[in-house]
Chain A
Amino acid sequence: MVITPAGLSRRRLLEAGALAGTALLLGGCGHGRGRPGRDAQTAVLRGLLAREAAVVAALAPAAEGLAGARGRRARRLLGQDRVHLAALSAALGTPATAAPSPVVPAVPEAALAVALARKEAALAAYVDALPRLGDGDLRVTVMQIAAAEAEHAAVLRLLLGRAAAPDAFAGLA
């Protein structure tokens, strides 16, 4: 089965379920069939690490520049993103390194909007990664990070004066 990795739409979420079943029928009923190998898993983790580094790069100027409760909330998210970096690095068995990242606006409000966009992209990447991780414990870790990233996106929307949960699938639709 081939489902392109870029982004998820509501239709694709629905279709993915149907396609999954079709593949199950075509491939037989065994569990563990066609599990991703270690090399493929490593490549997935490297991609997620780069996504997370881009989020940190965008959130840092907002966290440092915003005052009061908004600044505290942004700094809390930034601290949690660094935990995500550490968790992904631990899974890869390599120390986290600062990856080059596109330029981020120095104005905190603008940086916040960029951080939200990168959070949403990172969330899509985490969800997309799940079927490509053969290790069950690692899938749980990625799901825990994905859930936190979904929450972060909701918090950033609140900081930008928007609704926390504007749609059913966390912006993936």
Chain B
Amino acid sequence: MNLVGERVLWHFAEARTDTALTRAGLWLEQLAVLSYARAAEVLTGDARALAERFAAHEREHAAAMESALQGLTVSARNRPVGVDVDWHLPGLGDGGRDHTLAQLAELESWLLTGYQDMGRRVGELELLRTVGGVMAGGAQHLVALRAALGRPLAPHALERGGAAGLSG
């Protein structure tokens, strides 16, 4: 597992309850919003448009996870800030178009792995309707990012995300 995987999956690994797992998902979706927004600041053309569109999608994912959390009668504890982007995706935006898109693919990929970990461990199974929709949206982001990077679009029959060892 690489550094991004360790730092993303830590949030799920630390969670011991449905509430904590959902909070982890919400926090990471908010991190994805910030990450795409930062990427959009440095990208140009089609890549910038993609980052802006996916930032908007991530806001919807975060809203869905927040709604799920509120359904558990708890609220978010804190929100990620810029330094959290630096911690999870060091140097995001500093390395040119392809490097930036690859970092975003890395984040999406490990998020997908994290949601599957959540799928195994969650107690309240109805949460998985929300998680499943968010995960599917992330999987389609991966295809768009791979297309922009000229990588194989759907390399695995069983998509395990970063755990497959091919996050891009």
Interface residues of A (CB under 8 A from B): 1, 3, 8, 10, 12-25, 30-33, 35-36, 73, 76-77, 79-81, 83-84, 87, 123, 126-128, 130-133, 136-137, 139-141, 143-155, 158, 163-165, 167-170, 172-173
Give the residues in chain A near B71, CB-CB below 8 Å: 17-22, 24
Give the residues in chain B near A154, CB-CB below 8 Å: 139-140, 143-144, 153-154
Give the residues in chain B near A14, CB-CB below 8 Å: 63-64, 67, 130
Report the minimal beta-carbon distance from A11 to chain B, rounded to whole angstroms.
10
Known: A10-B60, A147-B159. A18 touches B112 (CB 8 A): no
Cβ of A158 and Cβ of B154 under 8 Å apart?
A: no
Give the residues in chain A near B73, CB-CB below 8 Å: 21, 25
Majority DSSP secondary structure for residues of B touching A:
helix
Cβ of A147 and Cβ of B120 under 8 Å apart?
A: no
Which of B22, B136, B154 contacts A155 (CB under 8 A)? B154
Known: A21-B71, A23-B126, A127-B133. A140 touches B120 (CB 8 A): yes
B76-116 contacts to A, CB under 8 A, are: 112, 115-116
Cβ of B112 and Cβ of A147 under 8 Å apart?
A: yes
Cβ of A164 and Cβ of B133 under 8 Å apart?
A: no
Interface residues of B (CB under 8 A from A): 18, 22, 53-54, 56-58, 60-61, 63-65, 67-73, 112, 115-116, 119-121, 123-137, 139-144, 147, 153-154, 156-161
Which of B18, B22, B135, B154 contacts A146 (CB under 8 A)? B135
Known: A154-B144, A170-B140. A76 touches B57 (CB 8 A): no
Report the Cα distance A24→B128, complex, angstroms: 14
List 21 A-B pairs, Cβ < 8 Å.
Answer: A8-B133, A13-B64, A16-B130, A21-B70, A21-B73, A24-B72, A32-B123, A84-B157, A127-B128, A127-B132, A128-B129, A131-B126, A136-B119, A136-B121, A144-B159, A151-B140, A154-B143, A155-B143, A163-B144, A165-B141, A168-B137
